[in-house]
Amino acid sequence: MAKTDARAAYLPGLAAERPDIALCRASALVARAADAAGGELGVGPHLVLKMLADVGPCSQQVLSAELRIDRSVMVGIADELEKSGYVRRERDPSDRRAYAVTLTEAGQRALAAAERTVPAFLDRTFAALTRAERDRLTELLGKLLFAD
């Protein structure tokens, strides 16, 4: 086998042997596709708006922890979302030292627009998989993520 052939076959072979490497590479590929398809909202801001819509006002600390977004990155995301009028920060009534991030009507509209693009994004990104394979992948990843 020529050197260039061996190099081209190296990663696919390694990924076939090592699920950790396959998952890291697939994750990077999906993240790049999500960023490219993100439009006005990037992945982080989209997730923040989605969580706020689903669970209500949260502190930046809770958003950061639950969404696995670095705290310093979360500050920037919250700042940008506030500047865009998608969220507002208000004193948390249960802890006067903290602020709760609250979704605004503009944020609800931005999230609704972003959510309309998700099915097509998923179809493009996971086109190599059948619907059953996609469902199985989702099930397996959930099992990994929430294992004790």
Residues 117/43, Cβ–Cβ less than 8 Å: no
User: What pTM was estimated for this model as a whole?
Assistant: 0.76
Gap between the Cα atoms of 101 and 112, Å rounded: 18
Mean pLDDT by 10 residues, the chain (148 residues): 65 81 85 73 85 94 92 93 95 81 96 88 91 93 82
* Domains of the chain by residue range: 1-37, 38-145
Q: Which CATH class is domain 38-145?
A: mainly alpha
pLDDT at residue 85, as a whole number: 96
pLDDT at residue 100, as a whole number: 92
Gap between the Cα atoms of 92 and 110, Å rounded: 24
